[in-house]
Amino acid sequence: MKITVIGAGNVGATVAQLLANQELANEIILVDVLEGIPEGKSLDMYESMPVLESDSKIFGTSNYEMTADSDIVIQTAGLARKPGMTRDDLLIKNAEIVSSCISQAFKYSPNAFYIIVSNPLDVMTFLAGKVTGLPRNKVVGMAGILDTARYRSFISMEIGVSMQDIQGMILGGHGDTMVPLPRYTTVAGIPVTDLIPKDRMDAICARAAGGGGEIVKYLKTGSAYYAPAAAAVQMVESIVKDQKRILPCSVMLEGEYGVTGAVVGVPVKLGKNCVEEIIELKLNDEEMTAFNKSVDHVRGTMKEASELLKL
């Protein structure tokens, strides 16, 4: 198994380290446009492998030729948010970065699965699909796993229970219009609505939707990277080990949920063929209205990106 991580910043470097720690690949290539940064970080990681008792090999480069024949490519490169910026504010700048990176990676790894982490996530996943022309099962965005992780964390904080017992689901775009689903959230099989009052659940859902922005406000000069990296690695693990986990990810819809031609977060089965199935939940009228609002927002940014890059 060979995995390429594009972008040697905080997210990309953390992804590479976690992949190596868990020995999810024999060879990991960390690529970045800034010469020396990927080489230095990857060598540092490589030298930690004896301590961590891992045989993963990590190499850094600014040359995409070293990424040839990768099984999985993880796109993390892009500008990070600053305080006051929304994910959509990054659209114009990151669209060109992601399109360029994916084009170069695809030249050398046309058969790889592509996992997109760069923001705005749903639109960048759409762009990656357009640039590569790959079927939708091979291009997937990391979003809902991160959003759901934040959501589950906040529920754990609220009622003081193990996060391992909390199951939740968030649909829609990765941003302020995401749709947390308390009705599909349980704690050890108990509906969360039986344990947390509605006003507190509303507050938790709102905090989850603004979770990335909350961290940006604290960091001031960067954005979240530990949780996003962990979420991306969970996707890789499910693919590499053919676990067939049901995880919320961004994927192009072709009729599911009554939506065609939009990339949004929905529960999918991830296995050795990447996206193996899209799970359709039965949404009530309120949930469907919120979901459609989120889809419309994503469509708007997809259109803007298409016009920008003349796709």
Q: Which residues are catalytic?
A: 174
Helix or strand or coil: residue 60? strand
Q: 267 has which bridge partners?
A: 248
What is d(CA 90, CA 96) in angstroms, rounded to the nearest whole number? 11
Query: Which tokens sit at 146?
Result: 């991160």
What is d(CA 106, CA 90) in angstroms, rounded to the nearest whole number? 23
* Contact by Cβ (8 Å): 43, 60: yes
The residue whose two tokens read 């995401």 is: 178
What is d(CA 146, CA 125) in angstroms, rounded to the nearest whole number? 15
CA 38 to chain centroid, in Å, comes to 21
What is d(CA 182, CA 211) in angstroms, rounded to the nearest whole number? 17
Number of other CB atoms surrounding residue 136 within 10 Å: 16
What is d(CA 5, CA 56) in angstroms, rounded to the nearest whole number? 14
What is the chain's alpha carbon radius of gyration, rounded to the nearest angstrom?
A: 19
